[in-house]
Structure 1
Amino acid sequence: MQEQTQILNYIPVDELTGSISVPIYQTSTFVQEEPGVHKGFDYARSNNPTRKVLEDLAAKLENGTNGYAFSSGLAAIDAVVKLLKTGDEIIAVDDIYGGAFRLFTHIYEKFGISIKYVDATDAQNVANAISDKTALIWIESPTNPTLKIADLRAIGKIAKEHNVLFCVDNTFASPIAQKPIEYGADLIVHSATKYISGHSDLIAGLVITATEELGAKIKFIQNASGAILGPFDSWLVIRGIETLSLRIKQHAENAQKVAEFLTTEKLIKNVFYPGLKTHQNHEIAKSQQKYFGGVVTFDLVIDDKELASRIVSGTKLFKLAESLGGVKSLCCLPCEMTHKSIPVEKRYQSGVTDSLIRLSVGLEDADDLIADLKQAIENAVKVNVETASSLN
């Protein structure tokens, strides 16, 4: 069965009315027949029928046992870290999302959880970093924003050998392109704000577990901490998932064309996209991803923040904004936006320079997107030349 057919088949018809659209149960509580006797729902923080449809759907998409929906991607990450205790250690990918870095470093280090950041493109670096305190390996693949790829199979084996939890942030790939549980992941997190919902109209997070035991622990944390996704946003995510397979395919097709164009521009030093044969991890990506994703990142031959800023401010179809994964194309300057919370030295070590530009390639016509980037680059260079001339 094709994936798009599977997705639509996973979404149930409402048993009560026959509604083909999942009902939005906008309620805080549920009437009980007698104390403790109810229809599976007692209080909406603990469970909600609309959210349950989404959570079951997320688990099926990732071939997991259980799924849980949270109020944001960071709330989902937070729930996973709450599996740990004081004295535990996380080994995390060095090119990490700025919000995860902020959470790990500025919140959980205060509670005695230490973090080691490693270049996970070489699985041996992960193995070498493991100590008797290591409790969790945290991987993004592709990473945000330099699109490094980790060998999930190799890291999954390392995690099992050392009896360490292995969590993959699968936001950039989506469950359509990559299913980390098949490679040994114990947990998967998503910022469902991005590709899963796909329309830049909500904030949401997901955790999917590989076992019922882990599922019960995440469920307890979700209920105890209360960072749940509301019924209306749950319904919006379900609606987004209905077209997920079609969107991911088009995102990837457009991104490949944009990436190939960018390699021809003299002003550009490096283009980061796993679909390019020149990408350092292209072969690994090809072995574990069905599609290469919709994010393309590049930096300039001169590390000039002002020039990069003019480029992202000069696009018309690419809107200058945080986030990614929506149907409309977005661009950003990570050093001033998504990764500003990361110290400059660490940012540069992971490849996030002042001239690094991240593109979220949407569903507009690829030729139009290329033309937009071309004019933005040409106009930015023109301003640079005119400024230099005036100074002389």
Structure 2
Amino acid sequence: MLIVDKNNPPPDWIEGLRRRFPVEREMDRVLTRKLHRRSGPAYSPVSLEVLCDGMKSLLRTQLTDAFEVRDAKWLAGGASKLQVSIKLDWRHPELGRTTTPMVIRMEPAESIVETSRLREFQIIKAVKDVLPVPPVYWVDDAAKHFPYPTIVYGFAEGVAKPTGTFSNVTGLGINYGPELRKVLGEQYVEHLARLHTWDWTKADLSSLDVPGPGTHAVELQLNWWERVWEEDSNRDIPLMRVAAAWLRENMPATERLSLVHGDYRAGNFLFTEGDQRISSWLDWELGHLGDFHEDLAYTTLPYLAHMSEDGTQELASGMMPAAEMYERFERVSGLAVKPKVIDYYHVFHAYRSVVIVIGSGYRAARNGKTHQDLLLNWLMGMGYTILGHLRRKLEEIA
């Protein structure tokens, strides 16, 4: 058996993974870049001054009028990316001289989820007339100006959870309360239906590969996450091999290609407390073209839910019972939800979650590649709870 030092991966091993697990072109670029850089320096803290200098360097290539970058502050939240708020005094192409709050979103040396800033930029820009999203301004996907690939977008107004409410890491387990969840829940399902019925073919999504008609779109996703497991995992877990084999043997045909958010859940949207409106959808880094059931299954995962106040109902993403969410989605979208396909994607997402928290979370923290090493170690413990869910789900439907 070939033993590979995954902390110093040899070129022939990297090329072998690329052949075994063909993924989208952009994701191949991102994942291959990660492996080529893995034996390099660990993450070192980046100062606000360095980030502001990077922003100025980027702006000098984009603007001809005078500008000022000021009031830089670190933003909390998120387990994978560094985020800084700034204010930019500049000549806006539509508003003239103004001050615009913006966010610099940058990767660390290696992330728990290695993704593409270019893809994130294109998707947010494409859906601006479909869903509430922050405006996007610039992307430095080759890290010419910043230490790592970076996207710059507008600061979105709103909160992720009601004032005074507790939530777990990255917004998991938010309890909106009976009245607010009723209002937000309607918008939550309506926005998901709007996304999945939107005609993405007219948008600039060149960083996304389009699966062929009548194919199993999930195969590209399976290749992505099985490749990441091979790249990052520290030890063999037989259940993961069983799950990967089952997922490949039972791939559902994709009847309709939709833009999939990939992380559609509580904690990844903001809302304004005054009028109780969802003001912005965030974290599009896992977006891709695929089956709409993928998002529906993700947002109804048991470990993203919590019980109602009276203890009688499990509320999917803190919104409503899963059965009610499926029924509402069908009514709003006109698309038929197939329970067997939902079951399939429940297995897929459990598999993907384990890859992320036990595989990539371990590797990034072990090598000191991220600013969130303590958080990633904590998340690894959650991975074994998800493994238990994966085993039970396979026993239930296999």
TM-score in same-fold range (> 0.5):
no
TM-score where L is the length of structure 1:
0.30
Normalised to the residue count of structure 2, the TM-score between the two structures is: 0.30
